[in-house]
A and B are shown apart, each in its own frame.
Chain A
Amino acid sequence: MVDRIERLTNLLALLLETSRPLSLVEIAGDLVGQYPENERSRRASFERDKAALRDIGVPIETEMVTGGPYSGQTTYRIDRRAYELTDLDLTPDEMRALQVAVAAVRSEPGQHAIWKLGGALDDERPAVSAVIPERPELPAIRTAVASRAPIEFSYRGDDRKLDPWGLLLRGGFWYVIGHDHARNERRTFRVDRFDRAGEGGADTVRVGASASFDRPPSFDPRTAFPADPKQIGHGAEESIDALVSISALRSGAVERELGSDRVVERHDDGSVVVSVPAGNLAAFRSWVLGLLDHAVVESPEDIRQHLIDWLTDVVEPDPETMRR
């Protein structure tokens, strides 16, 4: 028996060279001594090889023979035009720029793409980089966004159908934003929280027919998904601002985060009082508590009391909760 890589290479060469689709019997006949004699193990070895070639991106076409002595047999070939990369005519500086981009993201599939396009491994590490999560579902979702096709997936056990309007990478996670059919409203989902389905996650995202919906013309993923959670669920008409004292140690960072126009008082000791949107109480509370003892809510009184009650509960937990 030959080395597997040798058999894979020969199979690939055979299917590329052949002028007509070949059956497994013909393939095994051409690759003498490389596939087992026994019919069942031969089929199993071939299926494994075919899956391996497809996995690395080789487009193997299958055809069913109708009529003649081989009727009912499946035949295989590779269309060279589908196999070969389209030439892009990248100039050296364009190639180099893409190479640096892939090096900055340290993406393995991206590096393979660079090699295929004729580029090298960039051995100079760039001074700036970004960690971009890779998800197997993303190519299908991106295609659905571009071709206006609905997607179906399961999310925390619920089946969803979504018209995907856009993909957004923010805060280190990929989100898909779109119109949820069952709920009839705009929803945002984290792609890495999709329930995985099928072998190797192949059926996690099912893409429907193209041109099935129109994206609202004004849609922009950047603004569709509020960057500041304190603003989520916060309409203009219910705007409530709270005054919060920030100690000197954190005042600089808070001012940079909120902007100087939010500072309403400055004290000699470096502390400040800022006005902060509190329409979404949970988000506001989370923000204030994140500053620990460097932030104290001054007003309004009901929000201040809410924070005191919350902290008291941490110090002396409700016995109901304790039993959990």
Chain B
Amino acid sequence: MSGPRNAEDRLRRLLVMLPWLMEVGEAPLADVARRFNLSEAQVQGDLELVAMCGLPPFVDEMVDVFVDDGMVFVGVPRLFTRPLRLTAPEAFSLLTSARTAMELPGADRAGALGRGLAKLAAVLADAGIDTEPQGDDTAGVVVDLARPELTDELAKAAAAGHELAIGYYSPARDEMTRRTIQPRHVFADAGHWYALADDGRSQQRRTFRIDRIESIEMTGRSFDIESVGPPERFFDDPDVARATIRLAPPAHWVLDQYPVDDVADQGDGWVEVRLPVSSERWLAKLLIRLGPDAVLVDAAGDNPAVATARRMLDRYDERLR
């Protein structure tokens, strides 16, 4: 449910709500609220306000709508009978969503989604977004959500409520673990695929990176499926520790690869960045990959890269013996 809304947001929502109400004539207030993601009080308030709008000589008659006993009624429609055309961001977003859905596991490319997508060309042109003359613009815009093989099996298990036994490489502990999981949701974010699952080992809901899952077996047990969305992104969490690092020009790819809070130009090509650190091991790995092109300025603990690099050098020494 939305928080406080400004006049623009309210009008934007009204302009999609009114044509729909005029189409159906009447509807329970609760249904209208759910359909348009508002509270009942918000719907009622906005409709009562718009009912007072009017122009001479039709004062108070422009939008004939009233709410009575939990029902919304619409009289003779005069204005706002048709929705406003799509804005360019809406049209782009709709198109990208449809194309993204085509790339998700289980997509039926030739089915209803593909047919719906094909019909969008007309509204896109109205929104000022040209499509390719041939109607097929696969060369022009590509959504690449390449996924690990096991993704489809996890998605099926989440949809069907099948419990799984998995072998999972835990990067924080650097070991292979066996777990029983109940997958709830499968999602792609920032170039990786994840499964959100109830983890039998920790008794908690955890996010697993699918490319770290070594094996999957069905346990034969089922669980009740419930509607679960993806979790909030961990790096937006202010409780996640931060580190400050200076980066030479060859290390500037870090800015492209990872979320960063701040970037400050140091002159002479170096930049200082503050970024969220998911674990000490992750920070060690980053610093080792960057080598002389990075200097750790500030972190929660000691520089974890030194001890890790020593261990790696030991492995090179082993080979000489």
Contact = CB atoms under 8 A, between A and B. Distances in A.
Interface of A: 3-6, 8-10, 12-14, 16-17, 30-32, 52, 55-59, 82-86, 88-91, 93-98, 100-102, 104-118, 120-121, 123-125, 127-132, 134, 136, 138-140, 142-143, 145-147, 165-173, 190, 193, 215, 219-222, 227, 249-250, 252-253, 256-257, 282, 285-286, 289-290, 292-293, 296, 298, 304, 307-308, 310-315, 317-318, 321-322, 324
B164 interface: no
Interface of B: 7-8, 10-12, 14-17, 20, 23, 34-37, 46, 49-50, 52-56, 62, 79, 82-94, 96-98, 100-101, 103-106, 111-113, 115-117, 119-120, 122-123, 126-132, 137, 139-146, 148-149, 155, 158-159, 169, 174-176, 185-191, 211-212, 214, 225, 227-230, 233, 246, 250, 255-256, 270, 281, 284-285, 287-289, 291-292, 295, 305-306, 308-316, 319
Given A13-B79, A84-B85, A129-B229, 6 more contacts: A13-B53, A83-B85, A85-B82, A94-B112, A312-B313, A313-B292
14 contacts: A3-B7, A5-B14, A86-B85, A89-B119, A97-B111, A104-B100, A105-B96, A112-B16, A112-B90, A146-B140, A166-B140, A166-B141, A173-B256, A290-B289
B180 to A, nearest CB: 19
Given A104-B97, A290-B289, A318-B292, A139 B126 contact: no
B316 A172 contact: no
Given A5-B7, A84-B82, A131-B230, A101 B100 contact: yes
B140 A167 contact: yes
Contacts of A282: 250
The 8 closest A-B pairs by CB, nearest first: A172-B190, A171-B191, A101-B101, A94-B116, A57-B87, A115-B16, A139-B88, A97-B113
Contact of B86 (A55, A116, A317): A116
Given A13-B79, A93-B112, A97-B111, A289 B285 contact: yes
Contacts of B292: 313, 317-318, 321
B234 to A, nearest CB: 12
Contacts of B319: 296, 298
B313 A5 contact: no
A256 B149 contact: yes
Given A113-B94, A138-B92, A308 B143 contact: no
A100 to B, nearest CB: 7
A98 B94 contact: yes
B166 to A, nearest CB: 12
A250 B53 CA distance: 67
B11 to A, nearest CB: 5
A16 B288 CA distance: 63
A208 to B, nearest CB: 14
A219 B126 contact: no
